[in-house]
Amino acid sequence: MTTAIEVMRGHRSIRKFTEQPLTGAQLEAIMASAQAAPSSSFLQASSVIRVTDPELRQSLMALCGNQAYVAAAAEFWVFCADFHRHLQWVPEAKTGFAEQLLIGAIDTALMGQNALTAAESLGLGGVFIGAVRNHPHELAALLGLPRGVIPLFGLCLGYPAQDPEPKPRLPAALMFWENRYPARQDETLMADYDARVRHYYQTRTGGTKDMSWTGQIGDTLAREARPFMLAFLHEQGFCLR
């Protein structure tokens, strides 16, 4: 197995960090790796806000569900889909299409994953923060995001102060198909996976969380998440048509 594969297969979300800062060389390498990600039609429809101001970090932490590592990690970056840049340089550009939201989201996600993988290859750890979308209006105001820019996720980076067990993923046989999507998925495989996830949560939490993967789906998808998001997208010039 190559080193790159070992790094990717060894991913764990890190939520506790030491106080050691990243070096300039590390930051430069991570940023360059992020920029090397593929870009649809070479639009490069992403921007990243590196938040270094301690007071701003505290404010963002409060907007992100008071997750302490947003303020405590050596680095906190906010990844955004960005078509404001395109309109600044080409004012006649046609934007606001649903496809462009997909392009911006995909490009930005690829950048984020490249950044995290690069960081992990340097012995660092990190965790993505979807909670930047909990209060998008307030967060956009704090970061000065203009129309045409939306925050998609945050990324905490730093030196790990914990060594968690990797979270078990779905069996490959439930995710990878050949030629056609199956009419029905393997119930035995899913039952086995549910048992593995339940054991993982019980071990990780000392028995305080008793949840299977399908149980977690039922809990997460029982209601609409962030019902304000479509209105925010429209206000920022996305998904208008």
Give the domain ranges of the chain.
3-165+224-235, 172-210
3-class secondary-structure state, position 23: coil
Q: pLDDT value at position 207?
A: 85
Q: Domain spanning 3-165+224-235: which CATH class is it, in words?
A: alpha beta
Q: What gap in Å lies between CA 71 and CA 108, rounded to an integer?
A: 22
Q: pLDDT value at position 202?
A: 94
pLDDT tens-place values along the chain, 241 residues long:
899 999 999 999 999 999 999 999 999 999 999 999 999 999 999 999 999 999 999 999 999 999 999 999 999 999 999 999 999 999 999 999 999 999 999 999 999 999 999 999 999 999 999 999 999 999 999 999 999 999 999 999 999 999 999 999 999 999 999 999 999 999 999 999 999 999 999 998 888 999 999 999 999 999 999 999 999 999 999 999 9
Q: Note the pTM of the prediction, 2 decimals.
A: 0.96
- Do residues 116 and 128 touch, judged by C-beta distance below 8 A? yes
- Do residues 110 and 38 touch, judged by C-beta distance below 8 A? yes
Percent helix, strand and coil across the chain, each to the nearest 5? 45, 15, 40
